Chain A
């Protein structure tokens, strides 16, 4: 397909739907949920009703099976209203992707369909208290007993865990084997031995919920194993390869909100007799913010386009996620600066954006790890 930056009428419509939902359902609750940490279930339910959840689930299982580019367009719109709610809406895509990619047709039928037929949440459980970046060293054990596996261990920082009815869990059948021992399982929440820790109190993205999940001899039937023993690490990485780009789009949405607030404010606030936008120091800030925002969006579009074309996009998706989230932090920081003292106050919208943007540098592969991946991919071309 030739490169085009013209969205199709259908893409504009999807964007319009997401933008309307963001404006009418998310934005009015964003400040309240940020203050109280409330998980706005009514928003997530409505998102599900409109088909804004499970964007990656194939049509034959009742999802919308959208190309990644379209998912990114939707994500940016949602995130411009609230990053935290967007994370919780996207969490289903992340949790169901291992089933999409590694499940048998029977497993997809059994696990994916209920998520499209009813409002339900799922969580992706990879990170452990002992470490997130080094996923190959995870410690949760899966011991084969007859026709079942018995899971023991702990997963932390799990998005939507308190509300989820299903977890995709990565555990090792043999710690000696490191990566090659990691295996993926689908674990229903009501499995005996599965318990929840208290909900985390977070810096930002407070409308999303995050908690620890503990497995104490949780028995999972063999039919819930995704792929073969030892295929879990690859599956986790393949999953993150396809969900990293939307995190870039999420950062773009937050940054766009910050830039829009800052632009309006700079035109309206006066000092020394003129709108502050007329002071060059403020104008050049906005000039830089616009550049970073545009570059971030183009990088996410490029990465999404490559994935949609079936091309390998490990480098591009890491670049998009890393650049867009770092840029979002700089843009939000400058937005606060443009607001001056008001920017520091909770009654104004921009400080929340900075706190929300911060997470994008950490989860789905911390940016330090993204840089390692990018350099490794790039250097490979010379060796």
Chain B
């Protein structure tokens, strides 16, 4: 069996974002990208552990994004992915999550995919749409809020553990399947220096997204962004001067009672 992990490069959590000239997204200039923060890292870690346990022969990583998305894919290869596929967009192509899922579906369809893993949502737009939409486009089942996976290999059903309001649910599902993983106990590995060097020699294919999408039956619906704004700067912070922790606590309680009126 073989697995595909979809990853999205997103700005690092401490980036200072500015609105792009287009007014509909952030300005990619001067932003450092990572794998889709910890969500995709967790998904990849899960796939790599399953591979190391013998469940998969190969783990491939796929990304839809601008040329700089290669850095995220190389990072994924350095973590242990076997091959990469970059579906390239141009910097001014704005793909909404549903549309990305359609492009991604055609990319995944071109690869063996007994299991498709995605992070629970993107670290930048927080949409959380791609996993389910991807299953829909591929015509295979998809499961969200998954906390754990057991794969015995050889095409036998996967045991999928899901987190629900009512409790944990254990399902048995035959491959192929799309899994959207909750960040759990994975503790993603840091690529070692030798693995970073080795990752440079691993195959990484590129295809323009228009070409990939041309294989898609019908025209996927687009939901273009109309405007992008940064949150207004926060005001109203009240700094408390104090000499000792006891005094700080006393003053805080007073403020919470009398000004904020939450106590």
Chain B residues near A14: list those with CB within 8 A: 193, 196
Specify which chain A residues have a CB less than 8 angstroms from the CB of B196 in the assembled complex: 10, 13-14, 17
CB-CB under 8 A from A10, the residues of chain B are 74, 196-197, 200
Measured CA separation A21–B191 after assembly (Å): 11
Distance in angstroms between the alpha carbons of A17 and B193 in the assembled complex: 8
Is A9 a contact partner of B192 (Cβ separation < 8 A)?
no
In the complex, B71 has a CB within 8 A of chain A? yes
Q: What residues of chain A lie closer than 8 Å to B190, measured between beta carbons?
A: 17, 20-21, 50
In Å, the complex CA distance between A9 and B192 comes to 16
Q: Chain A residues near B191 (CB, 8 Å)?
A: 17
The contact of A12 among B71, B192, B197, by CB within 8 Å, is B71
**Total residues of chain B contacting the partner, CB 8 A:** 14
Q: In angstroms, how far is the closest chain B Cβ from the Cβ of A27?
A: 14
User: CB-CB < 8 A to A55: which residues of B?
Assistant: 193
Residue in A13, A21, A49 whose CB lies within 8 Å of B74: A13
Question: In the complex, what's the smallest C-beta–C-beta distance from A58 to chain B, in angstroms?
Answer: 13
Nearest Cβ on chain A to B192's Cβ, whole angstroms: 5
Q: Which of B163-202 contact A (CB under 8 A)?
A: 190-197, 200
Contacts of A193 in B (CB 8 A): none
The residue from B70, B195, B197 contacting A9, defined by CB atoms under 8 A apart: B70
**B78 sits at the interface (CB 8 A):** yes
Asked if B193 contacts A51 (CB within 8 A), the reply is yes
Contact with A along B56-97 (1 / 0, CB 8 A): 000000000000001100110010000000000000000000
| Contact, CB under 8 Å: B192 / A50 | yes
State whether A64 touches B71 (Cβ < 8 A). Answer: no
Chain A's closest residue to B199 (CB) is A13
The CA-CA distance from A55 to B197 in the complex, in Å, is: 12
Complex interface: chain A residues within 8 A of B71 (CB): 9, 12-13
Q: Choose from B70, B75, B192 the contact partner of A51 (Cβ within 8 Å).
A: B192
Q: Which single residue of chain A is at the shortest CB-CB distance from B197? A: A64
In the complex, the answer to whether A52 meets B193 with C-beta atoms within 8 Å is yes
Cβ–Cβ contact B74 & A9, under 8 A: yes
- In angstroms, how far is the closest chain B Cβ from the Cβ of A315? 30
* Cβ distance B68 to chain A, nearest Cβ, rounded Å: 9
A12→B200 CA distance, assembly (Å): 13
Smallest CB–CB gap between A267 and chain B, Å?
Answer: 14
Contact flags A1-23 to B (C-beta < 8 A → 1, else 0): 00000000110111011001100
Q: Nearest CB to that of B32 among chain A residues? A: A16
Which A positions have Cβ atoms within 8 angstroms of B?
9-10, 12-14, 16-17, 20-21, 49-52, 55, 64, 66
13 A–B pairs (Cβ distance < 8 Å), ordered by A: A9-B70, A10-B200, A13-B75, A14-B193, A14-B196, A16-B75, A17-B192, A20-B190, A49-B192, A50-B190, A51-B194, A64-B193, A64-B194
